[in-house]
């Protein structure tokens, strides 16, 4: 394969991953901002909001790990073992 094409594809993949991370960041920021406003308005709901944030962050980290292992081209059995170790 042409080295120029190889280099361009690696750069394009990096840009795609970088740009794709902007969406979840903005979404989490918006959700966090609205939750903080809700906590400010209603102090009794504070515990429920904190639990929701923990679950939301866990799901995001788990997805990042799964995408990373998928991109590494590992067999399914190795992916599961690595995910268990990462937790």
pLDDT tens-place string over residues 19-60: 888 887 788 778 778 877 877 777 665 555 555 555 555 555
pLDDT (0 to 100) of residue 52 = 57
Structure tokens at 21: 């991370």
Delineate the domains of the chain, giving CATH numbers in brackets.
3-86 (1.20.20)
DSSP 8-state class, residue 74 = -
Return the structure tokens found at 66.
């799964």
Element (H, E) at 41: helix 22-41
Does residue 53 contact residue 32 with C-beta atoms inside 8 Å? yes
Question: Is the per-residue pLDDT at 87 higher than 60?
Answer: no
Output the CA torsion 60→63→64→65 (10° steps).
Answer: 120
C-alpha to C-alpha distance for 34 and 82, rounded to whole angstroms: 35
d(CA 62, CA 83): 8
């Amino acid at each position: 394969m042409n080295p120029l094409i190889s280099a361009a594809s690696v750069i394009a993949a990096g840009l795609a991953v970088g740009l794709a991370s902007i969406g979840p960041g903005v979404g989490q920021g918006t959700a966090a901002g609205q939750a903080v406003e809700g906590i400010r308005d209603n102090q009794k709901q504070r515990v429920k909001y904190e639990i929701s944030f923990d679950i939301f962050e866990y799901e995001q980290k788990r997805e990042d790990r799964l995408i990373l292992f998928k991109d590494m081209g590992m067999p399914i059995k190795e992916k599961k073992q690595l995910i268990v170790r990462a937790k």
